[in-house]
Amino acid sequence: MTNLIEIKGVTHAYQTPDGPLPVLDNLNVSVPEGEFAAVVGPSGCGKSTLTRLVAGLMKPDEGEVWLHGELVKTPRKTVGMAFQNPVLLEWRTIMDNVILPLEIVAPTMPRAKRRDRAMELLTLVGLDGFEDKRPSELSGGMRQRASLCRSIVHKPDVLIMDEPFGALDAFTREDLWQTMHALRAKEPFTAVLITHDLRESVYLGDQVIVLSGRPATTQYVLDVKYPGEGGERKLEGLYTPACSDMLAALREQIQIAQGRQPEPAVQS
Ligand SMILES: Nc1ncnc2c1ncn2[C@@H]1O[C@H](COP(=O)(O)OP(=O)(O)OP(=O)(O)O)[C@@H](O)[C@H]1O
C-alpha cells in the first residue's frame, strides 16, 4: 500500500513577539491510502498545526509534507476539511451548502449532477428531506452531518477533521461515528482526525498517533486491531478487553506526553 500522506522530519516554530515558539520537532507521520489516522496528544502540542501543514496552509521550517506523491507547497483543493463548528452559510440551503466545493472544484459540472452527488451523500447520512432547510433549522448533530457531506462531496484525496465531534453530546457523537463508518464503506477515503477522545480514536482509527508534548514529535503509534468479524466495527466492541487494553495503552502514553507519571492499571 502506498502512503498517501507522508510527513518527513517536519520541524516548525511560530514567530511570536516573545520569540520563536517551537511547535513541531522532527515529526514523522505516514498514512497509507484509504487509511484513517487519528491523532491525539496533550492540549496545545501542535495537532492543528499538523493539519494546516497537510492542507498546505503553511510551510514547515524544516522537513517535507507529501500528498499523493507531490510535495505540498501551496493550499490544496484536494483536501477536505471539517471542524468542531460546522461553518454552514445561513443564506444557503443545506443542499447549496453541500454543493459549494463542487462550484469551486468542478465549476463546469451541471447543476443537476451536483445536486445528485450531494443528495447521494445527504441520503447516506440520513438528511434526505432536509436538503431545502436552512442550517439554523437543523440540530447541531444534523449540521455536522451536512458539514461532513460538504467536506467529501468533491471526493478529496484526504479528509482532515479537527475535533469535528467535540461539541456534540455523547449519544449524537456515537451516531456520527457510525455515520463516518457508513461514509467510508460507501466511498473509502484517507482521513486524519484530531481528537481528544481516546474511544473515538480507537473506534474510528486504523492507526492512532500519539504526539508528545510541545514541541510535538511522534511518540507512539497504535495499530488498531478492532475486535469483531468481517471488518465491521460495532460500538459494543469498545467494551471488550481488546479495546480496554488499547485504551489503557493510549492513556498511559498521553500521561507520558503530559509529563506525568503513568497511573497503575486498575486490577479487576
Ligand atoms: N499562528 C500562530 N502564531 C503563534 N502561535 C501559534 C499559532 N497557532 C498556534 N500557535 C501556538 O502553537 C501551539 C500549538 O497550537 P496548535 O493549535 O497546533 O495545538 P493543538 O494541539 O491543536 O491544541 P489544542 O489541543 O488545544 O486544540 C500553541 O501553543 C498555540 O498557542
* Residue-wise pLDDT tens digits, 236-246: 999 999 999 99
Whether 267 is covered by a domain: the verdict is no
Torsion of CA 179, 185, 188, 191, to 10 degrees: 30
Residue 226 grid coordinates: 478492532
* Distance from residue 59's CA to the centre of ligand 1 (Å): 15
Whole-model pTM: value is: 0.91
- Does any domain span residue 268? no
* Structural domain contains residue 216: yes
Please check whether residue 70 lies inside any domain of the structure.
Answer: yes
**Domain end call among 109, 141, 156:** 156
Which are the contacts of 59, defined by CB distance < 8 A and separation ≥ 6? 53, 73
- Identify whether residues 182 and 254 lie together within a single domain: yes
**Which residue from 134, 3, 20 is spatially nearest to 11, judged by alpha carbons?**
20
DSSP H helices in the chain: 47-54, 94-98, 100-105, 111-124, 140-152, 170-186, 198-204, 241-257
For the stretch 43-60, pLDDT in tens is 999 999 999 999 899 999
Residue 19 and residue 90 share a domain = no
Q: Which amino acid is at 96?
A: D
Alpha carbon distances (Å) from 119 to 94, 126, 132, 158: 10, 10, 11, 21
How far is it, in rounded angstroms, from Cα 6 to Cα 92? Answer: 36
Closest atom, ligand 1, to C-alpha of 196: 25
Establish if 122 belongs to a structural domain: yes
Higher pLDDT, 50 or 230: 50
Decide: 15 in ligand 1 pocket, CB within 6 A: no
Which of 1-5, 223-227, 251-255 shows the lowest per-residue confidence on average (mean pLDDT)? 1-5
State yes or no: pLDDT of 212 exceeds 70. Answer: yes
Using a pLDDT cut of 70, give the percent of the chain over it.
98
CA distance 72 to 7: 10
Q: Which helix (H) or strand (E) holds 191?
A: strand 190-194
238 in the same domain as 165: yes
Atom 10 of ligand 1: nearest residue by CA position: 14
DSSP code at position 69: T
pLDDT of 268 above 70: no
Q: Same domain, yes or no, for 12 and 142?
A: no
Tell me which residue range forms the domain holding 197: 1-74+158-262
Report whether residue 118 contacts ligand 1, using a CB cutoff of 6 Å: no
Please give the average per-residue pLDDT across 251-267, as a whole number.
84
Query: So what's the ipTM on this one?
Result: 0.96
Query: Among 3-17, 18-32, 119-133, 169-183, which stretch is predicted with the lowest mean pLDDT?
Result: 169-183
Q: Which mutation among 15, 18, 23 tests ligand 1's pocket best, with the greatest number of atoms within 8 A of CB? A: 23
**CATH number for 141:** 3.40.50.300
Say yes or no: 167 and 258 in one domain: yes
User: What confidence category does residue 267 fall into, taking pLDDT thresholds of 50, 70 and 90?
Assistant: low
Looking at the fold, whether 90 and 222 belong to one and the same domain comes out as no
Q: How many domains does the chain have?
A: 2
Is the domain of 70 the same as that of 31?
A: yes
